[in-house]
Amino acid sequence: MDAGIKRKIFLRSFLIQAGWNDQRMQNMGFAFAIYPALAALYKGRELCAGMKRHLGFFNTHPFMAGFALGLAARLEEQGALSGQPHDTARVEAIKSAVAPPLGAIGDRFFWAALRPASLSISLLALWALGLRHLTHPPEEMWRFQTSFGAGELLVGLAAGLAVYNGIAIWVRWKGISYGYQCGAGGSCGLDFVNWQGMIRKARLAGFCATVLLIAMKLIVFWRLKMPAALHGHDALAYLLAPPAMCAAFFTTRSGKHVAQVYGAVICICIIAFALAY
């Protein structure tokens, strides 16, 4: 596979999830992405038959699809060079074998570790640049964020995006060659890096950033805003926050969604305002 074909597959792999459907999931995106490799090997009816081979069920994590695309390109190349009739069942079986473990690793690393960690990094950067309030503050507190502008905002958000996309694009690009080189015999992407270690590091970095952010928010609140906060409608928010945070922590930890706690907070607030104010 030459560099031009690899580049085309890489660019097309950004559309691997286009046409996602319940029946065959990423099949349309996969066929679209593998097209440059097949077009270099076949012409006419053979090319059409080659494309049909890749319209079957396929599903993996989008950033890990590069490994499967590289592998499929290698299988097609081997088939074309052998001069034998294509073994469609073998291609299907190998794709089906590599996709689920790659998907499982991608979900755990990119969705469950790197994405929240990059949010923590963005939040920490935004805090460092001057964003003190994640909601609209009371009028008297506006002075704490008057220096915060669009430039700081973009830098803060870009910090998280740069970390996330740097790793994601690197895995996508390298994955194609790695999958191509491993062929059908290797573990194809599972040994690309120490995924387990990467997951652990991403989680730990995000966890530390979030804990630091919470600690700094609490310190600022304690030193500057405590007297003002205990008056008026805001008092309820500050009274509710600690138990609600505990509930949110344990709800998320048990696999349920934090939205449920937000719903409960709204109900409590409505009842409290109806009865007390």
- 């998320």: which residue's tokens? 252
Query: What is the three-class DSSP state of 21?
Result: strand
Contact status: 66 vs another protein (CB under 8 A): no
Dist. CA 172–CA 208, nearest whole Å? 27
Least distance in angstroms from the C-beta of 217 to another protein: 8
Least distance in angstroms from the C-beta of 201 to another protein: 10
Q: Which of 2, 150, 185, 227 binds another protein (CB under 8 A)?
A: 150
Cα–Cα nearest to 102, from 176, 24, 20: 176
Contact status: 117 vs another protein (CB under 8 A): yes
Judge whether 212 and 121 are in contact, CB under 8 Å.
no
Distances (CA, A) of 152 to 116, 123, 132, 155, 166: 21, 12, 12, 5, 21
Q: Which of 2, 21, 89, 231 binds another protein (CB under 8 A)?
A: 21
- 177/251 with CB nearer another protein: 251
Q: Which of 80, 128, 216, 244 binds another protein (CB under 8 A)?
A: 244
Least distance in angstroms from the C-beta of 213 to another protein: 7
- Single-letter amino acid code for the residue at 252: T
Residues numbered 192-221 forming contacts with another protein, rule: CB under 8 A: 196, 199-200, 203-204, 206-207, 210-211, 213-214, 217
- 155/184 with CB nearer another protein: 155
Contact range with another protein by CB under 8 A, out of 67-75, 84-92, 131-139, 179-187: 131-139
Least distance in angstroms from the C-beta of 185 to another protein: 28
Judge whether 125 and 98 are in contact, CB under 8 Å.
no
Contact status: 253 vs another protein (CB under 8 A): yes
Taking the CB of residue 119, how many other CB atoms lie within 10 A of it? 16
Q: What angle do CA 164, 166, 167 make, to 5 degrees?
A: 70
- 181/243 with CB nearer another protein: 243
Q: Taking the alpha carbons of 1, 45, 78, 73 in that order, is the dihedral positive or negative?
A: positive
Taking the CB of residue 123, how many other CB atoms lie within 10 A of it? 23
- 4/181 with CB nearer another protein: 4
Q: Which of 27, 94, 167, 175 binds another protein (CB under 8 A)?
A: 27
Q: Which of 1, 37, 59, 188 binds another protein (CB under 8 A)?
A: 59
Least distance in angstroms from the C-beta of 28 to another protein: 6
Dist. CA 62–CA 267, nearest whole Å? 39
Contact status: 101 vs another protein (CB under 8 A): no
Q: Which of 133, 170, 224, 230 binds another protein (CB under 8 A)?
A: 133
Contact status: 86 vs another protein (CB under 8 A): no
Distances (CA, A) of 2 to 16, 74, 76, 141, 243: 21, 12, 14, 59, 59
